[in-house]
Structures are given as structure tokens and as C-alpha cells.
Amino acid sequence: MDEPIVKTIGLKKYFRAGKSGLLNRIFRQEPPLVKAVDNVSIEVQSGEVLGLVGESGCGKTTLGRLISTLETPTDGEIFFTGQKVTRGNWKAIRRQLQMVFQNPYESLDPRQSIKSIVTEPLLKLGFSKAEREAQFEKVMSAVGLDQNFAQRRPKDLSGGQRQRVAVARSIVSTPKFIVLDEPTSALDASVQSQVLNLLVGLRNDFNFSYIVITHNIAVARFISDRIATMYAGQVVELGPTDMVLKDPKHPYTQALLKSVPTLEIKRVEPPHGEVPSLINLPSGCRFHTRCPYVMEKCKTQDPEMRKVGDVNVACWLY
């Protein structure tokens, strides 16, 4: 198999919750540590779509930002087409990566024209005016928007059109890899499927690779080749979409799927119990405070990922 387009090894992102206040300084205490991403190792192959699912606050977006080089890891390694991302080369690598944010109402600058928003990445990369014009025409056509949108502002567009503009901006510099953070969650149900179909079409036409971050299993089912379930900063199950959805191994993935009885697009209801704080994580398996199958060893020993058939799962049941 070729070198993965993206690979992470033992990736961690810890940060301090809030600033060090006066009392903390007097008592020489650090603000608490948030373990947003904790020891995540994943790979995405060229042309592959990996769906990253889990409840809000499980670290999905932070992982996406790390992979997009928008955040610096606390520890661990990221490789892009086999090349390790370092302080010296991250700017060059970032040109080949893009991230599309959740809310098209907030992610587009309201003062800029659509043409200026879409072609801004090319301006930063030093493309000539003629090259920018040509790329603008190409990507607007690819995302199904008329050239007449060029001088309009985001406020003149519907939610679906704005997300198409966000996608056009993300592909204008012909990146190899795009992280899509909840790309449809701010859109009406009728527009969601249009944007998903657009993303599938673009992937087929341009061989893009995506990580699609979503709390919506139906979105992951529709678009992903493989699914990774994330819980409390860790990936707990990873495998081909059909297998994970037909026969989920990890009790957390099972709980997520119970809330999606049909193929229709539907919000994931949270499994029973509270999501643990990333500041004060449970010992052992982080899911043990909510797991119906909890055993004594689960409370003290953190299971590592192991292969179960074609799926990787971190659970003492296997």
C-alpha cells in the first residue's frame, strides 16, 4: 500500500484551562490540564474519507486542527505523504491542507466579496491575477455556483450557498487533504444532502482525501470509507464503515448507534450518563463510568487498541 496521505503517531494536545490567576500564583498552582487529544494514532490513505464521530467535547475538532497544522501538538508526530511535519516545514505542508469550518455564517468574512473570499488563499500563495481568475471560474463551477456570485457578499447567500463558497475556498489551491468540521450541521436537512453529494462528487473528480468530523452518524455513514469513534480525547474504535456500523465492537460506538435507528439524517442522542471532563478523566478505561459491561480491571487499566477482525478497538472485552 502507498504511503498514507496523513498519519499521526501518539498525537497529544494538552492545554491549561484558563490563565494563571492571582490565587494560583500565590499558591504556586498551575491551572488544570485539559487533555483534549491523548495518544491518537491514525492513518488516512490517498483518496480516502475518514469519518471522525463522537459527542461534543470529545476532542474531534482539536484533532482536526492538529492535523491541519492550525495547532501545535504537545507530543507525538504527524506525517504528510510520509514527510514528518516539523517547525521548519509546516508552512509548506499547510499549503496542501485545508480545513472547512462548521458554521458558514461565521467562517466567511462578511465584508469581503465572494470572489475575494474564494481566491484569498491564492493571493497569499502569490498566484497572478489571471491565474486567480481562472481558478475562481473552475472552482465555482465545481461547487455548482454561478460566476454572477463573484461580487456578492456572504449576507446575500443562503446557508447552503455559503457552505459551497467555503468548500470552493478550501479547494481553490488544489490541496491534497481537507478536514471538514461538521460541514452540514448548521444547514437545513434539505441542503445537507446537497452539500454531502457535492463533497462526494469533488472527491471522485479530484481524488481529495477528507477527514469528516461529525456528531451525526448518518453523515459519517453516507460519506466515509472508514469510521473512527472518539471518546474523551482518544480513538476507541476504527474500521471500515460497513463493519463498524453493522457490528460495532466498542460499547461506546454501540451506544452512539442505538440513537440512529434509520438511515435518515438525524442528530445523535448522547449515550446514557455524563461525558467525563477532559480535566478530570476517569482512571483506567475512560468509558468505564458509563459502560454497561464494566469490569474491575476497566477501572484501573486503560485498554490499548487491538485488532479484532478488520476493526481496531480499545476495550477489555476483546
Applying CB under 6 A, which residues contact ligand SF4?
250-251, 285, 287-288, 291, 293-295, 298, 303, 315-317
Q: Are 238 and 52 in contact (CB under 8 A)?
A: no
Alpha-carbon distance 229 to 235, whole Å?
6
Q: Minimum CB separation from ligand SF4 for residue 317, in Å?
A: 5
Long-range contacts of 238-241 (CB under 8 A, 24+ apart): 238/42, 238/305, 238/311, 238/312, 238/313, 239/310, 239/311, 239/312, 239/313, 240/310, 240/311, 241/51
Q: Minimum CB separation from ligand SF4 for residue 308, in Å?
A: 12
Looking at beta carbons only, is 265 or 314 nearer to ligand SF4? 314
Q: Minimum CB separation from ligand SF4 for residue 285, in Å?
A: 3
Looking at beta carbons only, is 205 or 296 nearer to ligand SF4? 296
Looking at beta carbons only, is 70 or 294 nearer to ligand SF4? 294
Alpha-carbon distance 245 to 89, whole Å?
38
Q: Minimum CB separation from ligand SF4 for residue 302, in Å?
A: 8
Q: Minimum CB separation from ligand SF4 for residue 300, in Å?
A: 11
Looking at beta carbons only, is 107 or 234 nearer to ligand SF4? 234
Looking at beta carbons only, is 221 or 249 nearer to ligand SF4? 249
Looking at beta carbons only, is 38 or 182 nearer to ligand SF4? 38
The values of phi and psi at residue 276, to 5°, are -70, 150
Q: Minimum CB separation from ligand SF4 for residue 284, in Å?
A: 7
Can you tell me which residue has the cell 476483546?
Answer: 318
Looking at beta carbons only, is 63 or 314 nearer to ligand SF4? 314
Q: Minimum CB separation from ligand SF4 for residue 128, in Å?
A: 55
- How many Cβ atoms sit within 10 Å of the Cβ of residue 22? 7
